[in-house]
Amino acid sequence: MKIWVPMDSAAKALGADDVARAIAREAAVRGLDVQIIRNGTRGMIWLEPLVEVDAGEGRIGYGAVTPADVPALLDGRLNSLGPVDMLDWMRRQTRLTFARCGVIDPLDLDDYQAHGGLAGLRRAIAMSQAEIVKEVFDSGLRGRGGAGFPTGIKWRTVSDAVADQKYIVCNADEGDSGTFADRMIMEGDPFTLIEGMAIAGLGVGATRGYVYLRSEYPDAIRVMEAAVVIARQRGMLGPDVLGSGRAFDMQIRTGAGAYVCGEETSLLNSLEGKRGTVRAKPPLPALEGFMGKPTVVNNVISLATVPVIFEKGAQHYADFGLGRSRGTVTLQIAGNVRHGGLFETAFGMTLGEVVNDIGGGTLSGHPVKAVQVGGPLGAYMPVSKFDTPMGYEEFDQKGGLIGHAGLVVFDDTADMLQMARFAMEFCAVESCGKCTPCRIGAVRGVETIDRIANGDPGAAALLTDLCETMKDGSLCALGGFTPYPVMSALTQFPDDFATHKEAAE
């Protein structure tokens, strides 16, 4: 009998390790022949720890399991969810990037290959540099970290650059609240990221890669480091990648708790061992990146999606999506929501469908008040904008941004003035200090919102003006996008700002 118990952080945070220990203990007592596999998560976080049992009739799910449930689980008396692949949440998805996540043993390279792994890299090895770059371009893949820049164009720039050394840098500094897709794939299917980076290396002529992984993710760091060692032992990395005669190797580097290092130029400075301050662009990192050399800086999900593009072909990927947003979006549904987790689907589903239909509305049962999409720098979307389709341009037209596709749901108890204040406070704490609109503006922003709270009638106009300055004058998205949550709160939820004023009067 095979039993899967996730080792994903979210599952562990909800007691998966205790459940795994209880199963091992109980099985030993009963003298049962049980193989316990620690997999990634399927993404149904409200069901974690989600235990799957295969006694010869496929993988049957049980969740959320507690250690006290284990005797009943092994007796076959525990109520099951049925076959996991047949659950509504799973059947409604188009799992391309996350096809293997939760299915395989994350550190079993044979299991990985048995589920389509390395097919993409093998195909890329047979292609020229130009063909690899064209394949990515044709897939329509855009940067999943938030900016949505076409990945193929970035790769072409690096590929065309002439240098003695080029680099692939993976941005795994997933600091945005409401996002956990990077963490999930690194913990649940690390080889797909390594494979994507190896393909990127072949495509642009880079032989070295780095994953800049935030220190807040110790579990992901452990899994990625172990995966790199295995990949090297098995010839997936090293001087002769899968016998291609071409070299690519990589290291995992740990961040040090600075949110701004998720910005690509700060990240590069940090990787070089400097303060994580933002660099002015140009020069683009594609031309002068890590150590001043041409560098591809891509988000985890962008790189982890590359293998499936090469496995199934660019056209297969591009056939999904909406408008200029091609392929799938890895939605992370979070906050005050009944069914939180990761849901991968073609671009195009509306925000309301995601929150109410997929997410099941709020956890508290109260009405939804706002959904912050795209992390701490994303706009608060009111229910009146629930018809907005998930797409880069579609969100932009509604004054929002998709970002890394994290959605944080708030119920009607949320105080939007406090949320706006928090956005400014966060910007002040995390500002790298290089440019004035961000460094000073964020501090003044907190003060100005406090003035609104105290009933100052002129403060709202001042806040609007300050936000304009931050938007136009900041070097990077931290100062430049903090106005999104602040202004969306102010304009979409004026009552929360007026109430304070009237109360003061």
**Nearer residue to other proteins within complex by CB, 303 or 419:** 419
454: Cβ contacts below 8 Å, ≥ 6 apart: 500, 504
CB of 461 to other proteins, least distance (A): 26
**Nearer residue to other proteins within complex by CB, 139 or 332:** 332
**Nearer residue to other proteins within complex by CB, 290 or 493:** 290
The helix/strand/coil state of 306 is: helix
Among candidate residues 118, 476, 151, 97, the one with its CA nearest the CA of residue 298: 151
- Residue-level length of the chain: 505
DSSP 289-353: -GGGS-EEEEEHHHHHHHHHHHHH-HHHHHTSEETTEESEEEEEEEES-SS-EEEEEETT-BHHI
Q: Which helix (H) or strand (E) holds 213?
A: strand 208-213
CB of 129 to other proteins, least distance (A): 23
CB of 229 to other proteins, least distance (A): 16
**Nearer residue to other proteins within complex by CB, 232 or 253:** 253
**Nearer residue to other proteins within complex by CB, 179 or 299:** 179
**Nearer residue to other proteins within complex by CB, 219 or 319:** 219
Separation between Cα atoms, residue 175 and residue 248, nearest integer Å: 28
DSSP 13-58: HTTHHHHHHHHHHHHHHHT---EEE-----SBGGG-S-EEEESSS-
**Nearer residue to other proteins within complex by CB, 30 or 275:** 275
CB of 198 to other proteins, least distance (A): 19
Give CA separation, 484 vs 178, 270, 297, 336, in Å.
16, 26, 25, 21
Among candidate residues 103, 303, 314, the one with its CA nearest the CA of residue 210: 303
DSSP 8-state symbol, 309: H
Query: Is the distance from CB of 449 to CB of 417 less than 8 angstroms?
Result: yes
**Nearer residue to other proteins within complex by CB, 125 or 261:** 261
Give CA separation, 192 vs 104, 280, 296, 369, in Å.
12, 32, 17, 37
**Nearer residue to other proteins within complex by CB, 123 or 339:** 339
Structure token digits, residue 157? 């720039």
Cα first-last separation, the chain: 69
Structure token digits, residue 110? 């044979």
**Nearer residue to other proteins within complex by CB, 27 or 297:** 297
Structure token digits, residue 271? 């990787």
CB of 465 to other proteins, least distance (A): 25
Number of H helices, E strands in the chain: 22, 16
Query: Is the distance from CB of 450 to CB of 435 less than 8 angstroms?
Result: no
CB of 217 to other proteins, least distance (A): 6
Give CA separation, 485 vs 352, 427, 482, in Å.
19, 11, 6
CB of 329 to other proteins, least distance (A): 17
CB of 215 to other proteins, least distance (A): 6
**Nearer residue to other proteins within complex by CB, 126 or 429:** 429
Among candidate residues 48, 59, 56, the one with its CA nearest the CA of residue 19: 48
CB of 385 to other proteins, least distance (A): 18
**Nearer residue to other proteins within complex by CB, 326 or 500:** 500
Residues that bind other proteins (CB under 8 A): 9-10, 12-14, 45-46, 48, 174-180, 182-184, 208, 215-219, 251, 253-259, 270-277, 290-291, 332-337, 340-341, 363, 372, 376, 406, 408-411, 414, 419, 422, 426, 429-430, 432
CB of 139 to other proteins, least distance (A): 27
CB of 180 to other proteins, least distance (A): 4
Q: Cα-flanking dihedrals φ and ψ of residue 363, to 5°?
A: -70, -35
CB of 83 to other proteins, least distance (A): 23
